[in-house]
Amino acid sequence: MSARLDGLKVFVRTFGCQMNENDSEHIVGVLAAAGAAPAGGPEDADIVIVNTCAVRQKSEEKLYSYLGRLARLRRKRPFLIGVAGCVAQVRGADLAARVPAVDLVIGPDNYLDLPEIIGRAAEAPVVRTDFGRDWREIGPEATARVTPASAFIPVMEGCDNFCAYCIVPYSRGREKFRPLGNVLAEVRSAVAAGGVEVQLLGQNVNSYRDPGSGLGLAGLLEAVAAVPGVEWIRFITSHPKNFGDDIIRVMAACPKICPALHLPVQSGSSRVLARMNRGYDREAYLALVGRLRRAVPDLLLMTDIIVGFPGETEEDFEATCGLLREVGYAGVFSFRYSPRPLTAAAAGPDDVPLEVKRRRLIALQSLQRSLQTGLLRSFVGRELRVLGSGPSPRGGGRFAGRTAGNLVVNFEAPADPSGRFVTVRVGGSGPYSLHGRAVG
């Protein structure tokens, strides 16, 4: 029998991307299956697990300051401290040595072993960062969903691309694909639990291949769309170099696939893209955007940008600003380059001065803010289908939700529409969201 944790209370703090949010649902689910109960916060937990992001230096720094807080809290009351996720994977034993308060370090491929590892960590610190070669299935029965109406469904993990700046091939390992049957079983289970939207997750979902049949992402999307009860399908994240026309055709043909894509470009300069080892240039990216928009006319795009990659000139940066103008993104996540361990770019100089990176980031964000404000304004007066997510974080008794195009809408409604679709008449807009009133 596997280790039991009956009576213990667990708190999981999550940093990072949707993949990590979903992994935390697995961590809580696996521990609950072993008898543990959720704690409200670190204050009343017997075990605190920090699920970490390593993608940028800043993400990693957040971990160390949070661990400092936990260590202080533990002077008042004993509890176990575990570090999971990407920092755990890449730092491993060094992390346990650097922060003595840490009792266990566990990489993303080992969560099924958590109950046993926690049992041992009570005696002495444990580090477990093994990588399996095959997909390790954590089924829906060990997934404690935070948002059942909108279910995260992992379909692949890892990355084989080795972009020069990126730590993910080291924190998540080589690409591994989840068998199609397991994906569909989880989709059906999510629908049975009230799911209407599914978000297919992976670091590079476009390279999906069913290990049994070789079926790719296009076929996977069709199979998921055929599951009764699924209304909206998203897939995150796409690599522009693997975006086949078969996927575009399925997006155009299947109304359940949301007209929204996260399509990270990273830079608008072909010279920088080549040095980043992205596998496409500016022209190829823009051509892809053109093909997508012709096939899916109401498509909204989001992207990621890195400013200050080594060797980035003012001219390169201007090319990125020009690309933002040309594409007209609905949202941009932008970051200052920071060198990450093990990556190719970290072997060379980090030669764009910090003040220059700062200035470029501010300029890029203010440009995007004005472009986005214009785009969002074009939705005013329209009626949009919105999936309610709960009370608006902006308060005022309003609710929040998202459109199929993944726009945030804050709206007035007679009753809490969480997990349901409502039609909202858009009365106004800002740089980051729409607002309006539920109709009908």
236 sits near ligand SF4 (criterion: CB under 6 A): no
Instruction: Tell me how far, at minimum, the Cβ of 141 lies from ligand 5AD, in Å.
Output: 30
Rounded to whole angstroms, the Cα distance separating 247 from 400 reads 30
The site map against ligand SF4 for 169-188 (x = CB under 6 A) is --xx----------------
Beta bridge partners of 128: 106
**Nearest alpha carbon to residue 30 among 53, 5, 48, 51:** 5
The option from ligand SF4, ligand 5AD, none interacting with 304 (CB < 5 to 8 A, set by class) reads ligand 5AD
The option from ligand SF4, ligand 5AD, none interacting with 53 (CB < 5 to 8 A, set by class) reads ligand SF4
- Of the residues 53, 305, 330, 352, which one makes contact with ligand SF4 according to CB under 6 A: 53
* Residue whose C-beta lies closest to ligand 5AD: 304
Encode 54-68: b = buried (16+ Cβ within 10 Å), e = exposed.
Answer: bbbeebbebbeebbe
Q: Quick check: 409 and 401 in contact, CB under 8 A?
A: yes
Long-range contacts, 210-216 (Cβ 8 Å, 24+): 210/177, 210/179, 210/180, 211/134, 211/135, 211/177, 211/179, 212/179, 212/180, 212/181, 213/180, 215/180, 216/244, 216/246, 216/247
The option from ligand 5AD, ligand SF4, none interacting with 54 (CB < 5 to 8 A, set by class) reads ligand SF4
Site for ligand 5AD in 268-287 (CB under 6 A): none
Site for ligand SF4 in 74-113 (CB under 6 A): 85-86
| Beta strand ranges found along 244-372 (DSSP E) | 260-262, 300-307, 331-336
DSSP H helical ranges for 299-353: 314-327
Instruction: Tell me how far, at minimum, the Cβ of 338 lies from ligand SF4, in Å.
Output: 12
Instruction: Tell me how far, at minimum, the Cβ of 200 lies from ligand 5AD, in Å.
Output: 17
340 sits near ligand 5AD (criterion: CB under 6 A): yes
- Of the residues 30, 31, 34, 54, which one makes contact with ligand SF4 according to CB under 6 A: 54
Peptide bond into 237 cis (omega under 30): yes
Site residues (vs ligand SF4, CB under 6 A): 16-17, 19-20, 53-55, 85-86, 168, 171-172
Site residues (vs ligand 5AD, CB under 6 A): 55-56, 165-166, 264, 266, 304, 306, 335, 337-338, 340
